Structures are given as C-alpha cells and as structure tokens.
C-alpha cells in the first residue's frame, strides 16, 4: 500500500468517480468507478446498484441482507461495461478501495493500477476484506495508490504530468 501526492490526472479521474458515485441509489454507500487507458482516455464507468432491469426498490436497498446479495459493485459494472481487454489500465474508485472480490476481478481483467481514497472506517475495512485486496494487489504487482481524500481539494498536483 502506498500513500503519496497524486497527479492532476489522478485527481481528475478520482473526482469523476466521486461524481459518478452519486448516481447510485444505495442509501448507505454510494461507490463510483472510472477505468482509464494509458493515454488518459476513459474506457468505462460504473456505480454500485442492482442489475439492469431489476427494480431499485427502497425495501431491497434498505435491507442489507438482500442488498448485499443483489448489488453489482461499481468496479464490476465498469469492467463489464468496458467489453474489452483492460491490460495496463488504471481504475479509480470512490469512496473506498475495492473489496476482495472486486480486487480479484481487477486482477483477472489485467488492470495494473488502482487509485482509491484511504479509509479508516473499521466496519468497512473488515466487511470488505481490504487487507485481502491489498495482499492480492501486492502479490500480483498491481500498483495500489491510496490517497488522502483531502488531497483532492488542494492544488499540489505537480508530481506527474
């Protein structure tokens, strides 16, 4: 796991993921995602929600047991939406890093870089098995850049073009 200053492009795409997260109808955790190629072109976006055609009822989304069985995570939606080889690409996720299942999909898709805010929320850290995500990314040499959410607002983006 690394924490460092982010480039203006990393900031832009992470802010876009933050914006896309608002499209989720999940009343508790709205997650957004952007997949970007090495030329800084957006390949796909995603947000967490129920599968296409399945009713987003408040009863389903408010019941954690049902919601967790039905929801498609933002990362999975973006990977599915891309419909192409994602080798060497970057994935930006807001407001939390990918869970262990999404981390597996990111690895299998060939994505080489994951950028997400750092979280101190112990409930989320444990529920999403972030330690397993970090372990898998490390073993597969995927770059995990966890940033301080406060770094998105400042102007210190001169660390990369």
- Residues acting as catalytic residues: 75
Give the C-alpha distances (Å, rounded to integers) separating 140 from 11, 74, 92, 103, 136.
25, 22, 18, 11, 6
Burial class of residue 130 (count of CB atoms within 10 Å of its CB; 0-12, 13-18, 19+):
buried
Q: What does DSSP say about strands 113-117 and 90-94: parallel, antiparallel, or unpaired?
A: parallel
Encoded tokens for 13:
């795409």
Task: State CA 146 to chain mean position distance.
Answer: 11
Tokens of 125: 């850290």
Q: DSSP H helical segments within 6-156, as ranges?
A: 8-21, 58-62, 64-70, 74-82, 100-109, 122-127, 130-139
């Amino acid at each position: 796991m690394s924490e460092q200053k982010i480039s203006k492009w990393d900031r832009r795409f992470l802010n876009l993921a933050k914006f896309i997260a608002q499209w989720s109808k999940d009343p508790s955790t709205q997650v957004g995602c952007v997949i970007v190629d090495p030329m800084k072109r957006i390949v796909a976006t995603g947000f967490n929600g129920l599968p296409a055609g399945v009713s987003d009822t408040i009863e389903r989304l408010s019941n954690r047991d049902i919601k967790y069985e039905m929801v498609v995570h933002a990362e999975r939606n973006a990977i599915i939406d891309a419909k192409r080889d994602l080798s060497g690409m970057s994935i930006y996720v807001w407001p939390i890093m990918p869970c262990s299942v999404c981390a597996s999909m990111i690895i299998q898709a060939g994505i080489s870089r994951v950028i997400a805010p750092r979280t101190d929320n112990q409930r989320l850290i444990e529920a999403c098995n972030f330690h397993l995500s970090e372990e898998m990314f490390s073993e597969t040499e995927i770059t995990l850049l966890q940033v301080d959410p406060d770094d998105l607002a400042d102007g210190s983006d001169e660390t990369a073009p």
